[in-house]
Structure 1
Amino acid sequence: MIFVLQHVFRVLLVIVFLSGLVGHPTNMQAAENRQDPQELDIHAKSAILIDGLTGTILFAKNENQTYYPASITKIVTGIVALEASSPDEIVTVSKEARYEDGTRVFLAEGEQVPMMKLIEGLLMNSGNDAATAIAEHIDGSKEVFAQRMNQLVTEKIGLKNTQFRNPHGLFDSEHYTTAKDMALIAQYAMKNPDFRRIVSTKTKPWNGEEWKSNLVNHNKLLWTYDGATGIKNGFTDESRFTLVGSAMRNGMELIGVVMKSATSNESYSDITQLLDYGFGNYERKQIMAANETKTYSAGEIITAFVTKDPIIVTVRKDEVLQVTLDEVGNLSVKEGVNPSRIISRLSPIEVAEPKPTPDPELEIKNETNVWRILITVLWFLMNLFIGMVAWAIKEKRKTS
């Protein structure tokens, strides 16, 4: 009986020790599911995938090469209109707008239309006539409005490889952009709630003087991809098929761009691949909370830094993340074998006795060590008790 108790107790002890590994799996399973960018079969001449919040590039192919954008130009027209006008402003449609080439929402000459309705026709149904009407209302002409578009992307977004000549995207040899620039433009535009609402709307009634129907969003991604949130597709003979697509899953929104696809199906296939790759291989991690303090120590000198907003990074699911802080407040991250990159510059603050942020993993480790010490002591006491009982029984047998 004594030996049975010893065996059972030792088995229980082994289980307790091994339980320290539960909840801390290795990266082996994640590595098995890892997909490298080289495995993607992207047919478009240029493509990019970014995190819509952090702007981190998750995949890129010829992302800085200039191409003709076609109707994804209307992303810029739409956000400019939302920022430069009121939704209830009444726009009078000109003859030039009425007879604009390409895709239309069939505006009538002299028709008076609320600005928001025109923006919906612009972004959902890709109305070139709506684009011209918007431009003429805000700046008097398409040419002057294009200058406003260029000012937005250069001054507010900081782009250098994009130039617009019109508000609709019909071919002009001096009207060009890049996949990377379009991703950043889309990221900027999606911060506007009205823009976000419009590009995610599938259908909407349209009651115009010459056309009474339903607007049907030309972006097929809204029907074919789970979690799709936008944004815009385009086509001209010179640009071929262009597409800016976005989707959100588990609180993470990704934005993909493909330019100069040979066919429409190819453009949607490429975007689907990009989004699947991003959601399957990346996640967001919060490095610091709002108003959190970190300290840098150099000998006896301790400098404290604070962040105003939460700091979030987009990293591969199977990579170990290392975070460092230097003496001037540069917060850097390093993923696996990748070089370190600075993600934020923290503000210095004066504190009497800065306290380092507790390390949750260290606390868990310390707690585990305490339990292991207690178990070891119990092991010793149990063996001592069992030994004493065995000795007592042996002595009793001698005397009897």
Structure 2
Amino acid sequence: MKKFVFFIIIFLCIYSSQLTTYAEESEQLNLKSEGVALLDSDTGAVLYAKNANEKMYPASLTKIATAIYAIDKGNLDSIVTVSENAVRQEGTRVYLIEGEQVPLKKLIQGMLINSGNDAAVAIAEHLDGTVEQFAENLNIFLKTKIGVSNTHFTNPNGLFNENHYTTAMDMALMTNYAIKNPVFAEIFGTKVLDWKGQSWESTLLTHHRMLKGELPYPGITGGKTGYTSETKQTLATTADNGKIRLTAIVLKSEQKNDKYNDTSLLLDYGFHAYQHETIKQSELFTTDKKEFYPENDTLITENVTGVIKKVNNQGLLSIENQNGRVVQSIQLKYKEPAKSKVVPEKKTPSKEPTPSMFQINTVVAMVIVVFAAVLMGVRKKLIKKY
């Protein structure tokens, strides 16, 4: 069982390099929206959550997913031929006409900035042939590429369907993923765009009142609005105060102003309560005599009042705030213990016993005696001869 859990952790680590977990907030903000998620845009740390995993309807926030899927998969310079089906879409449009040919990037702009439902369908049909096939492919993309777990989309624009749902957390993950793409980030943050279509010329203004400046808030970098009568008000917002970047999602607000007020409260909280810190690659974390370390210098999000760092037996480091809530989790690497070097025993070559000095002297004496005897014998023979 322990091995199974370990392999699950490793899989999640490979997929996402950083795992994020959260609990319901002990710091209660006075929020009216039913579903809320506030993430650090860079680390993915979950800073605030309210009913974040409950299924809700996103309305036009769906277009965030459609846009990043189109940017990832499509050729932005490709020409899209608008179908009759796209033209017949209800709600907000950019007033395309059947047979009109529009570059893919321009349709993404019209879809995100002016929330064009007709542009969204034209994009879907261009990429995958039909809206049905697009929805199937989009759902696969969101699960495998981004890692959502409670999302199912049936169309590219967010028009109400009981089987078209997501959660605040999944929507935050989608937005976080998307804003890392420079093309998406540029369009997501566009306030004004001149639009020249075959039947409609206009100046498009973002519908997001904080981004537009109608409800001033410093550091807003992008946003998307959503509404249907069944879905209620929805809002996605990104912001940067120069020290930390935030992604805020609010779902199911009754009144339009509620979603903006809630977003302001979330951003205020995130900017004042959290900051960045770096865990160095050389830093070691120990548990049960095991040592773990980050594979690289790793950016973390910590509460300004301090954090608690805990590592488990599998090397999963939890960054907790002072209330014990896990803000961020990071998979560390196991440090192999230094192997002790085994010095092989030196085999002493066997030696013949060394003769003692007495033995040597005895042998030498015998040799001398023998040699002397031989000389004496030779001398006697020589005397007799002569």
TM-score above 0.5, yes or no: yes
Residue 246 (structure 2) aligned to one of 251, 254, 261: 254
Pick from 159, 165, 178 the counterpart of residue 167 of structure 2: 178
User: 1:108 deviation in Å?
Assistant: 1.6
Cα 1:155–1:283 change in 2 (3 A) is same
Alpha carbons of structure 1 residues 350 and 233: separation in structure 2 relative to 1, 3 Å: same
By how many angstroms is 1:219 displaced? 1.3
Output aligned runs, 1:141-152, within 5 Å: 141-152=130-141
Distance of aligned partners of 1:332 and 1:235 in 2 relative to their CA distance in 1, 3 Å threshold:
closer
1:236 aligned onto 2:228: yes
C-alpha change, 1:286 and 1:293, in structure 2 (3 Å) is closer
- Whole-angstrom distance in 1 between the partners of 2:325 and 2:161: 41
1:264–1:292 Cα change, 3 Å = same
Aligned pairs for 1:1-400 within 5 A: 37-38=27-28, 40-222=29-211, 223=213, 224-288=216-280, 291-292=281-282, 294=284, 296=286, 305-318=292-305, 320-323=306-309, 329-338=315-324, 343-348=329-334
Instruction: Extract structure 1 runs of 4+ deviating beyond 4 A.
Output: 295-299, 303-306, 324-328, 339-342, 349-353
Q: Find the aligned partners of 1:209 and 1:255 in 2 and give their Cα distance.
A: 36
Distance 1:159 1:239, change over 3 A: same
Give distance in 1, aligned partners of 2:159 and 2:302.
38
After TM superposition, give the deviation of residue 324 of structure 1 in Å.
Answer: 5.0
What is the SS of the residue equivalent to 1:107? coil
Structure 2 portions without partners, runs of 5+: 1-24, 340-386
State the one-letter code of the partner of 2:329.
I
Q: Secondary structure at the match of 1:336?
A: coil
Letter in 1 for 2:303: R
Task: Tell me how far apart the structure 2 counterparts of residues 336 and 263 of structure 1 sit (CA, whole Å).
Answer: 34
**1:153: Cα distance to partner?**
1.7
Max Rg structure: 2
How many correspondences in the alignment? 312
The change in CA–CA distance for 1:266 and 1:328 in structure 2 (over 3 A counts) is: closer
Give the whole-Å Cα distance in 1 for the aligned partners of 2:327 and 2:247: 22
Query: Secondary structure at 1:37's aligned position in 2?
Result: coil
How far apart in 2 are the matches of 1:341 and 1:48? Answer: 12
Distance 1:70 1:340 in 2: 30
Distance 2:245 2:327 in 1: 22
Unaligned runs of 5+ in 1: 1-34, 354-400
Supply the AA of the counterpart residue of 1:191.
K
Q: Indicate if the aligned counterparts of 2:154 and 2:164 stay in contact, CA closer than 8 A.
A: yes
TM-score (structure 2 length as normaliser):
0.75
Contact 1:293-1:304 within 8 A present in 2 as well: no
Equivalent residue letter for 1:233: T
